[in-house]
Amino acid sequence: MNLHYILLDAVRQLRNVRSVVLTFLLPIAMLLIFGSAYGSGGAVDQATGLPWLVETTVQMGGYGAMMAGLSQAFAIVNERSIGWNRQLRLTPLTGSTYLVSKVVAALLVAAASILAVVLVSVLVLHAHLGAPQWLAAGFGLWIGIIPFALIAILIGQHARPDFAQPLFMVTFLGLSILGGLWVPLSILPSWMGNVAQVVPSYWLNRLGQLGAAGSGDVLVPALVLGAWTGLLSALITWRYRHEAARA
Amino acid sequence: MTASPPIRLTGLAKQFGRLRAVDGIDLTIDRGEVVALLGPNGAGKSTTIDLALGLSTPSGGSAELFGGRPRDAVVAGRVGAMLQGGALLPTTTVVESVALVAAAHRHPLPVAEALARAGVAAFAKQKVARLSGGQLQRARFAVAIVSDPELLILDEPTAAMDVEGRRAFWTSMRDLTGTGRTVVFATHYLDEADAFADRVVMMSRGRVVADGTPAEVKAVVAGRTVAFSARAPLGDLPERLRRLPEVQLVEVRGEHLRVASTDSDAVLRLVLGERSDAHDIEVTARTMDDAFLALTSAADAEEAAR
């Protein structure tokens, strides 16, 4: 593993304009709109026992973090179409280091995005929650995006540049809505709540909510997200070997 | 002691579906040589380079760098390359791009030194997207040399450069290769091969059709083409033209004849002496494509005779 390369590549992405708009500005804007819509007067969501404002903060934090993960698809598709990958193949860098660098970049951008959302929530909207709970919620959202970075890598491996955009949009919209990242599931039709149980974004949100509630009941979300991580890793490895064998 | 040559290709072949892009290449390039890989588009130059670098797997034969697998030479940082379609990320600056690739290598040059050697220090802080064609090629060159390689492989390095840019590029190349580095560059400019290489390998249709000094190769390309039409059947004239020592190619299309030769005078004398019906006579300087065609059909004929 080449840590120097991985860090340089991650910092480079953090400075990219697209990641700023998609993963910072949009979730903050939505937090400012929805946070004050549901969250006035510190009302509490009966389903989770969390104040609406905190719940919205977790949703938007998760949404931004998920974007940080998913938008790696653009990075990869771009780098492939430009030929940057060919350039990298003339270095000692291994395929797995390249993929790890994308996950690390996703984690770095996600960390910054989660922090920004929480800060806006606390400083601008005056959300009330203890520091340990914020920390737990933030950590849960952060670590939970690994499967999303892997989904992005899978899209990046398969999609042609012109196909990446629609594929990304479908994935991203589906995960956002079904996982209850935009609108709380408790106010959506009940069948969507059932579908949500298999979607990683639901469990990402859940991980954040549990952290915010100070609950240690994280076994189920950890298992589901872990299963997604394992499945996606297997698919990526298979695809990578398949491509290498064909070249 | 004889060190392994930087490049050794043995019976190298690559098949894409029904197309044989590289069709059995044997080529050894020794340390310190500056070799031009000359050929028209589609001659198989880029595919050969990809195979030599281990970026794709041969369908037949083998490619060795420094006596071992290409990937080992790449990992050791002994090879640097500018590939066709190997571009830099538009949103990064030149210095960031070089630093990224340097970070990927094990024993890179200091980034500043790579920038200075490639002559890109003046625009190192610019975004790649805003570079001119010539500047971009130089930035890619900086990336190619950052591992301080012994062997440089450049696929059409001066594409998108104007004449002035090309000259400047090759001048800085000379400074670098003065130290015994081996350089292989692909080009379809004969003048570039002539001016900067001490060996020219001509490729056509996936094969090596000529291999020699620039002077030798230029002589091959230097001929003229004589074309004319006749009113009566040509009889054994094409056969007799083929037997002229300097004639490389005779092409018959009905009553129309094209003859490629380095001695067009002899061809004209023979034709005009016998055929008063010859008309629409044209003598044209040979293009490089004609020369390649001549060389390729000569190679085909040789093979058929065997």
Mean pLDDT by 10 residues, chain B (306 residues): 85 92 95 91 91 93 95 94 85 93 94 91 92 89 93 89 83 75 89 87 89 81 85 88 86 87 88 89 77 65 60
CB A75 within 8 A of CB A101: no
Nearest CB to B55: which of A12, A82, A247? A247
By Cβ distance, the residue of A16, A83, A88 closest to B91 is A16
Separation of alpha carbons B120 and B97, rounded Å = 12
The Cα–Cα gap between A106 and A144 comes to 11
Cβ distance of A88 and B104 shorter than 8 Å: yes
C-alpha to C-alpha distances, B74 to A33, B103, B123, B151, nearest whole angstrom: 53, 14, 28, 10
Residues 6+ apart with CB under 8 A from B138: B118, B119, B120, B169
- Shortest distance between the Cα of B58 and any Cα of chain A, in A, equals 9
A71 near A152, Cβ under 8 Å?
yes
CA distance, residue B51 to nearest chain A CA (Å):
10
Query: Inter-chain contact B55–A91, Cβ cutoff 8 Å?
Result: no
Residues 6+ apart with CB under 8 A from B87: A82, A83, A84, A87, B136, B140
Q: Which residues contact B149 (CB under 8 A, 6 or more apart)?
A: B77, B78, B79, B80, B181
Which pLDDT does position B3 carry in this prediction?
78
Q: How far apart are alpha carbons B56 and B71 in whole angstroms?
A: 11
Domains and CATH numbers, chain B: 7-219 (3.40.50.300), 223-285 (3.30.70.920)
SS3 content of chain B, % helix, strand, coil (to 5): 40, 30, 35
The two three-digit tokens of residue A101, written as one number: 């660098």
User: Which candidate in B95, B105, B146, B154 is best for mutational testing of the A interface (most A CBs within 10 A)?
Assistant: B105
For position B1, what pLDDT does the model report?
43
Flag whether residue A2 sits within 8 Å of chain B, measured between CB atoms.
yes
The answer to whether B74 contacts A92, with C-beta atoms less than 8 Å apart, is yes
pLDDT for position B158: 86
Give me the residue from A5, A78, A86 closest to B100, CB to CB: A5
8 Å CB contact between B286 and B224 = yes
- Kindly list the residues from chain B whose CB atom is less than 8 angstroms away from the CB atom of residue A4: 103
d(CA B84, CA B87): 8
Residues B264, B283 contacting (CB under 8 angstroms): yes
Chain B's closest residue to A247, CA to CA, is B56
Low-confidence ranges of chain A (pLDDT < 70): 1, 17-19, 38-41, 245-247
Are A84 and B87 a contacting pair at CB < 8 A?
yes
Q: Do B91 and A17 touch (CB under 8 A)?
A: yes
Is residue B102 within 8 A of residue B109, CB to CB? The reply is yes
Tell me the nearest-neighbour CA distance from B103 into chain A, angstroms.
Answer: 5
Mutation site for B-interface testing, chosen from A90, A93, A101, A241 by largest number of B Cβ within 10 Å? A90
A5 in contact with chain B, both atoms CB, cutoff 8 A: yes
Residue with tokens 């500005």, as numbered in its chain = A25
- Please report, in angstroms and rounded to a whole number, the separation of the first and last CA atoms in chain A: 24
d(CA B250, CA A178): 72
Residue pointed to by tokens 């034709």: B271
Angle at B6 between CA B5 and CA B12, to 5 degrees: 90
Most distant pair of Cα atoms in chain A: their distance? 61
**Whole-number Å distance between alpha carbons of B177 and B184:** 11
Q: Is A9's Cβ below 8 Å from some Cβ in B? A: yes
